[in-house]
């Protein structure tokens, strides 16, 4: 078995309806930073799209989470993807979720055997986020 990895997982694209509102939410709640913002007339299979890249580091043009909008159709709603975030303060993160228009889904789950606490939240368009507090 080789140790070379010719392919690496580097980003996730989340299909959304309102690029600006959801970009603001992820930047406000999770401290992400905007990278590129582009429209592509024949983006996916000839269908026009618009994208905003969000990065953990200011100045990173590409980012790890890209918000994608199909320009000629609404985004599908549902639980097709769950985006995970870690934090050292779950309560403060959940407060930012609430203040920015998101909703808590269920209660915080204590998982002492794994050394974590977990909560789920929905962004303003209904996409699921898994929020994990790492315990030391």
39-43, 62-66, 84-88: the lowest-pLDDT one: 62-66
> Which residue in 102, 109, 110, 92 sits closest to 129, CA to CA?
102
**Helices (H) then strands (E): counts for the chain:** 2, 8
Task: Give the helix ranges, DSSP H, for 33-102.
Answer: 90-99
Q: 122 falls in which pLDDT band (50, 70, 90)? A: very high
| pLDDT for 77 beyond 60 | yes
Q: 2 falls in which pLDDT band (50, 70, 90)? A: low
3-state secondary structure of 22: helix
13-27, 68-82, 107-121: the lowest-pLDDT one: 68-82
Count CB neighbours of 49 within 10 A.
19
Determine if the pTM surpasses 0.95: no
- Domains defined along the chain, listed by start: 10-72 (3.10.180.10), 79-136 (3.10.180.10)
Per the listing, tokens 């309560």 go with 91
């Amino acid at each position: 078995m080789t140790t070379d990895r010719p392919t690496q997982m580097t980003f996730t694209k989340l299909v959304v309806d309102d690029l600006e509102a959801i970009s603001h939410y992820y930047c406000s709640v999770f401290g992400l930073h905007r990278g590129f913002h582009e429209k592509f007339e024949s983006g996916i299979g000839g269908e026009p799209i618009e994208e905003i890249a969000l990065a953990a580091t200011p100045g990173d043009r590409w980012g790890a989470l890209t918000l994608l909008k199909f320009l000629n159709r609404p985004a599908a709603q549902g639980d097709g993807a769950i985006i995970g975030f870690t934090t050292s303060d779950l309560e403060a993160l959940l407060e930012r979720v609430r203040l920015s228009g998101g909703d808590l889904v269920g209660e915080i789950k204590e998982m002492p055997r794994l050394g974590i606490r977990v909560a789920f939240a929905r962004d303003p368009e209904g996409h699921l986020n898994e929020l994990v507090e790492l315990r030391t």
